[in-house]
Each structure stands twice: as C-alpha cells, then as structure tokens.
Amino acid sequence: KQEVTQIPAALSVPEGENLVLNCSFTDSAIYNLQWFRQDPGKGLTSLLLIQSSQREQTSGRLNASLDKSSGRSTLYIAASQPGDSATYLCAAPLGGGADGLTFGKGTHLIIQP
Amino acid sequence: GAGVSQSPSNKVTEKGKDVELRCDPISGHTALYWYRQSLGQGLEFLIYFQGNSAPDKSGLPSDRFSAERTGGSVSTLTIQRTQQEDSAVYLCASSHNRGLSGNTIYFGEGSWLTVV
C-alpha cells in the first residue's frame, strides 16, 4: 500500500525567498504524482500533475520534480509571496490495483510579509 | 456546473443519527471520488466511481458508510448510526476521465460534519 510522507510539516519564511517542499512515496510504480494546495476551510486546488515519463512540470513560479527511482518529488516555489501561504499536499496513486489517490499530511506554509 | 458542488456545507448531527452528503460533480466528468479529512490528519480515500463500472469501495472504513451515484452524475455518501469519530470534512472530487491516468482532479469545498 502506497504511503506518502511530506517534510517539513510546517514552514515559515520571509517573503521573497525561494523554498522547497519535499514528498516521498513508498511504491515507485506510479504513473503520475500530483501537488495540491489547500487554503483554510477550502477544498483542494490542483497545482501540478507530473506523469511518470516526465521529470518535472512548471507553472509560473512553481516547479515540481519527480524521481521515481528514489521515490521522491519536490515542489519548488520561487520568489515566495504572502498569497502562497497555504497547506501543500502531495498525492500519489494508491497502488495495489486500487483506484484513488493517497495523500501526504501536507506542509503548512506561511510566508511572512 | 462551474465546479464540484457539495451540500450541506456544514452539518451538525447527534450521535446515532444517519446523515447524507451530496456531491454534484462537474458536468461531463465520469470519475468521482469521496475523501475524508479529519482534524490534523491527511486525506483518506473512501470510494471511487468511474462511469457505469462497479465502484471501488476499498477505502470505506466500515459498513456504516455507503455511497451511490445515480445516473452517472450526482453522488450521495451516507453514514449510518454516526459516531463522534466520523466528525470530519468530507471532500468530493471529479475528473474528466480516469483521474489516475493523468487528468486533473477537481475538489469541492467539502461538507463539514460534526457529530455531537
């Protein structure tokens, strides 16, 4: 059964800094991995979807990488802004023939103005 | 619709009562998921519907939980004889096709359930 771990659990940095959020997964036989953002009291918003054949995906100031062999993905946020404050979740397929995604517990990010 | 719609947005119920949570996916989306998010915990997969195929119920925590999807569109998650540990946010998501193969998954804002 797939397990997803995210480090750090929480992060607080000054505005303008570049930062990296880490995600690791136990079952490397994945065909994609997704990063989501969750604002307090809200649902999840998909940020980036990386197919297993890809090494990275970029959207604006966000860049996500995927290394299946090591079971890791990173989300890089450039020039952070207060509006980036949210919880960032990594998700990988459940595996074992089951449908659905399994999520990490997220990284709670605070960008200080 | 413009997005995944869930109702009610908030529900407080007494222990032992049954509750129904509704999800209206994005029009045309064939895949529909239910997840549960407890306070301070990650998201827990509950059930997955894809078109007219038999649902994947592998995540349902007990036989008190059931879900159906009528006409391939609206879905209802039912919790019977609610317990306090059922208190959580129940999130519904949909995608255009089989989400796992690479389609973006869209989430509703959730139904916040409190069992007292």
Q: Which amino acid belongs to residue B2? A: A
- On whether any CB of chain A is under 8 Å from the CB of B108, the answer is yes
Predicted local distance difference test score (pLDDT) of residue B88 = 96
Judging contacts by C-beta atoms under 8 Å, the chain A residues touching residue B110 are 42-43
- In 3D space, the residue among B16, B29, B10 whose CA is nearest the CA of residue B80 turns out to be B16
Q: Which residues of B73-110 are buried (b: 16+ CB within 10 A; e: fewer)?
A: bebebebeebeeebbbbbbbbbbeeebbeebebbbbbb
Contact criterion met (CB < 8 Å) for A99 and B101: no
Q: Is the pLDDT of residue B61 over 90?
A: yes
CA dihedral B81, B86, B89, B92 (to 10 degrees): -60
Predicted local distance difference test score (pLDDT) of residue A17 = 96
Judging contacts by C-beta atoms under 8 Å, the chain A residues touching residue B35 are 103
pLDDT digit of tens for each residue in chain A (113 aa)? 789 999 999 999 999 999 999 999 998 888 889 999 999 888 899 999 998 888 899 999 999 999 999 999 999 999 999 999 999 999 998 776 666 788 999 999 999 99
For chain A, the residue count is 113
For chain B, the residue count is 116
Percent residues over pLDDT 70 in chain B: 93
Q: For residues B58 and B33, is the Cβ–Cβ distance under 8 A?
A: no
Nearest to A31 among B45, B50, B101 (CB): B101
Query: Which tokens is B33 given?
Result: 């998921």
Nearest to B42 among A46, A99, A104 (CB): A104
Query: Which tokens is B36 given?
Result: 């549960």
Predicted local distance difference test score (pLDDT) of residue B101 = 56
Q: Which amino acid belongs to residue A4? A: V
Q: What Å distances lie between residue B74 and A100, B1, B107, CA to CA?
A: 18, 12, 14
